[in-house]
Structure 1
């Protein structure tokens, strides 16, 4: 009896399963992926389903050959409630996001680019945006008091560190106030801009630069990437989609979860000798903690404990676990 499937996706899964199950050992899976790409616009979902059904010959290395593995021109935002703006190149995703936010862009709007002509790091520094990384800005409109907007930064750090550790096996650490360290160097940087009107946070824009598969830039500090640590490329689209979905879930708990404690658990700074460069001068001592407001607590040589709100935190990278 001939089978009929009203659901095209279900039909594609069954047809693909029959093809693979009937082929002898050595069947060229690269050809299968090309065929799958012509059958459906959801090849990733089909392959994930086939793996679930027990076709173990679809190995991770071969999955990375499928078309679109690194294509971040579309994301998982339709499953959320925001908007997704992709640019092959732009001046800065932070600048684009600021323009969108000022004219009413929705909460959790994402701006991502393959490269940036003027990518921004902290304190106006340039962020080198080489091909293969992820460079994005996310517009958030949190319902929190202005004095609690610092939680956003800590939330993003915790989510990214958790993803790197839990999914990719990368021993990632949070460096106060907003860097991710792994493999002996800086793997990601996070910045934020807030607009506050009276007693209301109008919006917060979070900017991220994540070294994923890109060549390591030549800068004045040790750097790393997911690829340099694992020794192989990872599917960039899957990485970014996973991060956005985890961040969206975390965002719904921005006020209810203790994000400071979560980043403390991953801290690369607490217990270290640090030098903090601030507009008012330089402070040196031992970082002994982060308080409930996100301030770094530094004990000086004289025994005083100073609360630091912002500044460049400098400490050696050589003893970060890899």
Structure 2
């Protein structure tokens, strides 16, 4: 019997949960005695819990009789207490937020294997191979498990999300023990994803080729003609202060899958591509015709950003009038 627990925080619970559930299906395979659960140690909204249950497995919501703390230390202690009697074979967590701190600590305490930022899984005659990127995304490192249990953090957007089922899983409340904590919750870590970015239908992404606030304003004006769009950027744009880090897309930022992705002045570094690879229709606008990003675009426009944006905005302004 393979036992697998998926641990989620308070952010994009359903989107992350569906992806981790997709990976869970690959890990447990055809094991008829498998047990998969979602664990919400910090709770969740009623609609989030309902959506998770529609993935067809049990959802455990932790409840506390006293004060609740949102911190890596507290999450680690509560989960250790929960698993005291029975430790699962696999523990899956998003590779984000406090779980990057909780996962290695839990693995060490339970003598389990720890693999961070998992991006791929393959099977061969000898079993499973787990892959994570190295060398800034230029190489894939493949590993084989030799321990009976493993704690894995998973890079968002790496696995096909599981689909909702006709029959929802049961929802249960777990009365968590008060384990104490010395670190209160003071907010999400820097680089937390801006509200709505992962769910956006349209993403307008600015890259290093965007020259200053005037061109950013033009992109913003363009976005006002596209309902449901959100402005984001690559790492250099966020490092330069033109956008906050919660709008960053890429290996160290958010992973997005919009219906339309428009890249302005983005060269096409592997770190950025890792965050938008699941996008639907991709448009690239860049004055450098040799930019690698064009190889990943459905439509490429070789033009100066300002010339292109002013021309298209002129047309849109005229039609609106």
TM-score range, shorter chain: under 0.3
TM-score (normalised: structure 2): 0.23
